[in-house]
Structure 1
């Protein structure tokens, strides 16, 4: 009896430990943001910040298609991150996620997305980066916004959705604590700020002249991150000084540059060079690989660690 009881107890402990470990792996690395003020504080440059990972379209992993909830969740199982995503309009004006104007590359459909109603799009399935068909459907932006609440930050790129529609959807979901908009010029930021003074942006600021144009327009740098380009180059130092001095983080995206390197070793060296260059945010098609490469740069003692958690 005693042996039987001991065996059962040990078995139970083993099973509990196994279940706990599995659940631990299934937990998501989340960003804990409760207000637009938190979002601004999260992105404000202080000099003692956590190097941030941005997943370009969510990430590129076999079996996981870009611009899909499944991919976002897979990335968050490995690293905290925020995501640049691509809203587009269907024929009946439903906002869905799709980088290309056509369906062919990333779905089982053919032709222009704008030629289909959302109901018609439901029959298609997404493909991963290698062209493999998955079971995942094309998500609506509303679905993704509700999924992202309490988990991450969503950076909405500007494709064919009018600014008015984007602003209205963010307002409808009360999502300004974790949804930001990509803007290509100060006028777009000013439009959003008039709709909601708490708006947050990812702004294209690749030169001193562009920095000055945002400054002249009165766009608050403490409510934006600046995309400064895809490369490490000497000119970046002037931009870091200007942007960081105004309280803004600078982002380099490797998606169109260093992500194209053939080997993981080459990509790792490139990611490290970006971190050494002075970028506060690195965007990549491979956020999981990126996070592993730059883990030595993550400041454990940063006050901003309060925004990171598990869920």
Structure 2
């Protein structure tokens, strides 16, 4: 074999190996998820504390909405984490026999193959019911219990529990049972709810509805620590946000705008992308969306890489 043929063979082999390596890397990436590594409740507080040098955070509303993946399901959470780091707002409700399961609506009709009120069914009766995706397609996924989701989420993400029909004490007791205060937080609509949780666990972290200066002052007067909350300030970019950003950020709280009821409703991906970027430019520290994967791609250039908080962001293999 002459020198020219040897060089050609070497180049061919090199090209083949490059393609093989790229293929293996792609396959490996499909078997990995983005995770948030939080070892303690203090880590959770530090993760959300506003410092001015923070990572723009993605919150998946009910986990996210992608064809084939139903809201409020482990499969959806895991699918989202394949594409982006995120935490999840989820919806615990009670069955007839007081099992906490995930379901946004009080009724089964929209999101499952079942009919009627969730509270009329025991957990055993729900086991044969299957979840639907956002398009109404029936999937193979069953309704998960909150306990199952908490154990799945450990070491992977943060769960924000919305307040539906589960008594506050039951929620506090379940978090204590699972020793999950390092990655489970609670949505509160009033300072009294936050104070209740703090009485049960002084390290509790909240997602608090604070849409006005008056509501900020209510939490301030109640003595709820702003360094143990994120503040949901509404669904829109508007001039009033500037005052809330200043008040809450100065107190140590990140501010969240949710696009779920507003900009997620825009018809095209281009319109939604522009809206998500407008939220990031407006000054929000956290953006919540029904489309967290789409959102993450839209705002990737706004995510800081040189912040100490990057230590919380890791990759991990998907456990079969």
- Per the alignment, residue 74 of structure 1 pairs with 79
- Per the alignment, residue 85 of structure 1 pairs with 90
Q: 1:267 aligns with which of 272, 297, 304?
A: 272
Q: Deviations over 1:264-298 (max 9, x none)?
A: 00001100110011100000000000000000100
Q: Secondary structure at the match of 1:126?
A: strand
Question: Higher Cα Rg: structure 1 or 2?
Answer: 2
Q: Deviations over 1:170-229 (max 9, x none)?
A: 000000000000000000000000000000000000000000000000000000000000
Q: Secondary structure at the match of 1:136?
A: strand
Q: 1:159 aligns with which of 159, 164, 167?
A: 164
Q: Secondary structure at the match of 2:310?
A: helix
Quote how far apart the aligned CAs of 1:23 are: 2.0
Q: 1:1-311 alignment to 2 at 5 Å?
A: 18-311=23-316
Q: Deviations over 1:71-128 (max 9, x none)?
A: 0000000000000000000000000000000000000000000000000000000000
Q: Secondary structure at the match of 1:135?
A: strand
Q: Secondary structure at the match of 2:218?
A: helix
Q: Secondary structure at the match of 2:131?
A: coil
Separation of aligned partners in 2, 1:14 and 1:207: 55
Aligned length: 306
Separation of aligned partners in 2, 1:52 and 1:105: 29
Separation of aligned partners in 2, 1:244 and 1:236: 12
After the TM superposition, list the runs of 4 or more consecutive aligned residues in structure 1 that deviate by more than 3 angstroms: 10-20
The answer to which of 16-25 and 27-36 deviates more is 16-25
Quote how far apart the aligned CAs of 1:24 are: 1.7
Quote how far apart the aligned CAs of 1:60 are: 0.5
Q: Secondary structure at the match of 2:231?
A: strand
TM-score (norm 1): 0.95
Separation of aligned partners in 2, 1:12 and 1:45: 46
Give the RMSD, CA atoms, in angstroms. Answer: 1.8
Q: Deviations over 1:18-65 (max 9, x none)?
A: 444312222000001000000000000000100000000000100000
Unpaired runs of 5+ residues, structure 2, are 1-9
Separation of aligned partners in 1, 2:17 and 2:116: 55
Separation of aligned partners in 1, 2:83 and 2:309: 19
Q: Secondary structure at the match of 2:93?
A: strand
TM-score (norm 2): 0.93
